Amino acid sequence: MPYSEPVHFERITVADVSRHFGRRRALSRVSFDCAAGQIVGLLGPNGAGKSTLLSVLATLAAPSTGSVRYGAATPGAAGAALRAQIGFLSHDLQLYPELSARENLEFFAGLHGLDDPRREAADALARAGLDDRADDVVEGFSRGMRQRLALERALLHEPRLALFDEPFTGLDEASCVKLVRRLRSLRADRRIVVLATHDLDIVDGLLDQALLLRAGRLRPLGGEGTLRERYRAAVASGEAR
C-alpha cells in the first residue's frame, strides 16, 4: 500500500545491487550502508558506475537485482512520499535557461509545495551568493553560477537524502570553500549526503566514508596517506591484477 505520510529514515542500506544495460553491467553486487549525519564519497574513474549508483539511490533507476532500503521503506512501496525526501544535483542541472534565477527557484519551491516560494527562493539566492543576479536569466550565467544555483535548487525542500554528482564542477576556490561549509552544515543537521567526485584534495578530511568503484564493483580503499594517495594506490593495485 502506498505511503500517505512523509517517509523518515536514519539509514540507507544498499544490498547486492546490480544494474545492467543490455549486456553491460554498470553496477555489480554493490553493498554498503550509510547513516544520518554522514557524508559518503563515491570515488572512481569515469565509467566506474558512480552516476548510475546515484540514479539508483535517487529512485530514478531501479536495480536489476538487489535492493535499496531507506530505513524500513522501499521505493516501490513509498513512491512519491520517499522521493519528496530526496534532493539530487546531477550533471543535468535541471534549470530553465530562459527563466531568471529567482523564477527557477520559485518554480521548484512551488513544485515541492513549500508555503512561501518567494521567501524560500530569496533565502536560497542568498546562500548561493546570487542576490545581485536574482532577476537575470540563467542562460547568461557561468557554469559556476549555474552550479551554485542548481545546488540550492536541490536543497530547497530540506531533503533527508542529498545526492550530488560532481558538485564542485565549475566552482572557484572561494565557492568550493563555501560548498564544503554547506556540506558540513547538512551533516550537522543529520542529513545523509552522498556525493560522487574527482576532487579528492577538496573532500579529503570531509568524508565519513570513501567508497571506490571500479568497473561497477566496490573495491577496498587503504587507510594510509592522503585520500589522493590512497586512491592512487587502490587504482594501481586493481590495474596490476
The length of the chain, given as a count of residues? 241
Q: In angstroms, what CA-CA distances link 158 with 46, 58, 67, 152, 238?
A: 30, 15, 25, 10, 39
Same domain assignment for residues 79 and 170? yes
Please name which of 11, 57, 3 lies closest in space to residue 30, comparing C-alpha atoms.
57
Answer with the one of 158, 174, 208 that is the final residue of a domain: 158
Query: What is the rounded distance in angstroms from the CA atom of residue 49 to the CA atom of residue 61?
Result: 13
Strand 38-43, strand 161-165: pairing: unpaired
User: How far lies 12's CA from each of 46, 64, 233, in Å?
Assistant: 25, 18, 29
Asked if residue 222 and residue 126 are part of one domain, the reply reads no
User: Which three cell numbers mark 194?
Assistant: 552522498
Q: Which residue has the cell 573495491?
A: 219
Instruction: Say if 92 falls within a structural domain.
Output: no
pTM: predicted TM-score of the whole model, two decimal places: 0.94
State pLDDT tens for residues 5-25. 678 899 999 999 999 988 888
Domain boundary among 124, 142, 158: 158
The conformation of residue 138, written as its DSSP 8-state character, comes to G
DSSP annotation string for 113-136: T-S-HHHHHHHHHHHHT-GGGTTS
The letter for the amino acid at 121 is A
Rounded CA gap, 128 and 113, in Å?
A: 21
Q: Which of 158, 179, 211 represents a domain boundary (last residue)?
A: 158
CA–CA gap between residue 96 and residue 228 (Å, rounded): 36
Give domain status of residue 108, yes or no.
yes
**Is the dihedral angle over the CA atoms 198, 203, 205, 211 positive or is it negative?**
negative
Instruction: Say if 221 falls within a structural domain.
Output: yes
Set of cell numbers at residue 44: 572512481
Tens-place pLDDT, residues 43-91 = 999 999 999 999 999 999 999 999 999 999 999 888 899 999 999 999 9
The answer to whether residue 114 is domain-embedded is yes
Clarify whether residues 77 and 143 are in a common domain. no
Q: Does residue 91 fall inside a structural domain? A: no
Is the pLDDT at 241 greater than 70? The verdict is no
80 grid coordinates: 512519491
Does one domain contain both 67 and 112? no
Least confident of 115-119, 139-143, 190-194, 231-235: 231-235
Same domain, 208 and 130: no
* Residue 80 and residue 101 in one domain: no
Q: 89-101 b/e with 16+ CB inside 10 Å = b?
A: bbeebebeeeebb
Residue bearing the bigger pLDDT, 222 or 207: 207
User: 218 and 178: one domain?
Assistant: yes
**CB contact set of 59 (below 8 Å; sequence gap of 6+):** 75, 82, 83, 86
Q: How many domains does the chain have?
A: 2
Q: Are residues 138 and 210 in the same domain?
A: no
Q: What is the mean pLDDT of the chain?
A: 93
> Are both 221 and 164 inside the same structural domain?
yes
Residue 240 scores a pLDDT above 60: no
The answer to whether residue 90 sits within a structural domain is: no
Residue 219 belongs to domain with CATH number = 3.40.50.300
- Reply yes or no on whether the pLDDT at 1 is more than 80: no
CA separation for the pair 118, 135 (Å, rounded): 13
Tell me: do 171 and 136 sit in the same domain.
no
119 has a pLDDT exceeding 50: yes
In a domain, 154, yes or no: yes
Q: Which domain holds residue 145?
A: 97-158
204 and 232 fall within a common domain: yes
8 and 44 inside one domain = yes
pLDDT on residue 217: 95
